[in-house]
A = this chain, B = another copy of it.
Amino acid sequence: MKYSNQERMLVAVDSIIIGFDGNEYKILLIQRGFAPEKEKWSLMGGFVQKNESLDDAASRILDQLTGLKNVYLEQLHSFGKPNRDPIERVIAVTYMALIDIQQYEQQINNDFHARWFPINQLPKLIFDHEEMIDMALMKLRYKATLHPVLFELLPDKFTIPQLITMYEGLFATEIDKRNFSRKILSSDLLIKENEKDKSSSKRGAFYFRLNRETYKKNFQRIHNFLPKN
């Protein structure tokens, strides 16, 4: 049995994959492999298959196009204007992925036709993908103001100055390192290592690791690492 007299349509998943390379935020794009707009740059996307959920589709597509597994992946918003795809009606469910660029950079560049673009130097994109990216960045800024989600972008070991650069990049603001340190250290989210990163100063900055337990437990709590204005 089926519902009668109803229009059936394709459902696609498109993922906005965001990374931070230590200086800038980047988005992973791919050259579309089929018509229309073949060879044009596009978000990572694909159609939802018969027996998979939306989340499963997002994970599968991410894996197929980039080899990425077990990354932070969150559903964002669904787009459904009737003519957003000129070929036929397609509903697009977007997901946002946050990944540590360094861990995957080689793999992605070598094995797949994907490329990282800085967020202020994006190429022209197909369909409504630019709108999707705008929405993802707005959401990320909003979420990062309140929750420590940006840690997903960092490697296992990172320094507080790196953290500061990351926050400053996303919010285009300057952060007082002394106050930031105090706040983040009092949050119980970081575990200090003995090792130092000497790549950007003579004295060296201590490495920290994320305390995954308190991170998960207190993720929904509102943290306030940013200055008010």
Interface of A toward B, CB cutoff 8 Å: 1-3, 6-11, 47-54, 57, 75, 77-82, 87-91, 93, 145-146, 222
How far is B77's CA from A145's CA once the two chains are assembled, in angstroms? Answer: 21
- Partner of A87 from the list B2, B9, B145 (CB cut-off 8 Å) is B2
Which of the residues B47, B57, B87 comes within 8 Å of A1, measured between beta carbons?
A: B87
Q: A11-B91, A75-B77, A77-B75 are in contact. Are A82 and B6 (CB under 8 A)?
A: no
**Contact indicator B88/A91 (Cβ below 8 Å):** no
Given A9-B11, A78-B93; A3-B48 close (CB under 8 Å): no
Least CB distance, A225 to chain B, in whole angstroms: 14
Given pairs A3-B90, A7-B10, A53-B81, 8 additional interface contacts (CB within 8 A): A1-B87, A2-B87, A6-B10, A6-B47, A9-B10, A11-B11, A48-B80, A48-B91
Q: A8-B9, A10-B8, A11-B80 are in contact. Are A87 and B53 (CB under 8 A)?
A: no
